[in-house]
Amino acid sequence: MKAVQRNNVRVLGSGSRTLMFAHGYGCDQSMWRAITPHFEAEFTIVLFDYVGAGLSDPAAFHRTRYSTLQGYANDVLEIIRELALTRVTFVGHSVSSMIGALAAIQSPELFENLVMIGPSPCYINEGDYVGGFERADIVDLLEMLDNNHLGWSSMMAPVIMGNADRPELAGELEASFCRTNPMFAQHFARVTFLSDNRADLSKVKTPTLILQCDHDPIAPAVVGQYVHRCLPDSQLVVMNATGHCPHLSAPSEVTEAMRLFLS
């Protein structure tokens, strides 16, 4: 099966430069709908779903291939090559930030820029490194996800989204979590929250924009600062937006920061 079918790829616009948008955990390509219209006139827009998410082909799932984030990065590279894309700016939310980094390390010639929204190379505190969670906290979250997918979704969506004054945003995220097949949700959660890509950051040579939210419960400010220090060619923008999904809660702020960077 071709990657464009496997990953439910959609291409919009026809610009000479390409923006490839990659969703975060428990989401799909629809989460970019408030961002993409602002770039379609100037860029080719590529949207896709990771295997196990959205309308991707569930039969394409192989536990070994997707046992690390590298498997998802390989899918990104296959999509780019099938579409014969060049000058790609990869826009990754949350875990997709590290997936984009791994793809750019492997094939730097394909990428013009990276945009990382709420990146975290490691979610678990270790020594002097602050990832935001103790290992026991992550283990408890994963066990709850295994035992009660719907309950986990209901509990975590408001925490991840923030913006308690706009409960409809948390409701949308919860619905997205609930649509995900529990088997895929559990697998990708383990790959995501137990990953450690800190050693990979120094290998990224692609110019990178890091968008950090104020009061992000998943990737706190100290993590964004860490990523910025470790990436040789990066800019860090701390936004007024709160929560972990600014492309939903504050799309105009994300769009403005991206435009400045891309110009």
Q: What is the CATH number of the domain that holds 50?
A: 3.40.50.1820
Question: Number of folded domains in the chain?
Answer: 1
46 within a domain of the structure (yes/no): yes
User: What amino acid positions are annotated as catalytic residues?
Assistant: 94, 216, 244
77 within a domain of the structure (yes/no): yes
190 within a domain of the structure (yes/no): no
> In sequence order, which residues have a C-beta less than 8 Å from that of residue 22 and are 6 or more positions away?
48, 50, 76, 90, 91, 92, 93, 96, 99, 100
Contact 94, 219 (CB under 8 A): yes
Across the range 40-63, mean pLDDT stands at 96
158 within a domain of the structure (yes/no): no
Domain of 116 in residue numbering reads as: 3-122+196-262
Across the range 52-68, mean pLDDT stands at 97
User: What pTM does this model have?
Assistant: 0.97
Contact 5, 57 (CB under 8 A): yes
232 within a domain of the structure (yes/no): yes
Identity of the residue numbered 212 = Q
- CA within 13 Å, CB half, 243: 23
Q: Which residue has the tokens 């989401």?
A: 27
211 within a domain of the structure (yes/no): yes
Model confidence band, residue 86 (pLDDT cutoffs 50, 70, 90): confident
Reply yes or no on whether the pLDDT at 1 is more than 80. Answer: no
**How many whole angstroms separate alpha carbon 169 and alpha carbon 155?**
14
153 within a domain of the structure (yes/no): no
Identity of the residue numbered 68 = T
56 within a domain of the structure (yes/no): yes
Check residue 208 and give its pLDDT: 98
Check residue 16 and give its pLDDT: 86
Reply yes or no on whether the pLDDT at 200 is more than 90. Answer: yes
> In sequence order, which residues have a C-beta less than 8 Å from that of residue 133 and are 6 or more positions away?
123, 124, 125, 193
Reply yes or no on whether the pLDDT at 24 is more than 90. Answer: yes
Per DSSP, 52 falls in state T
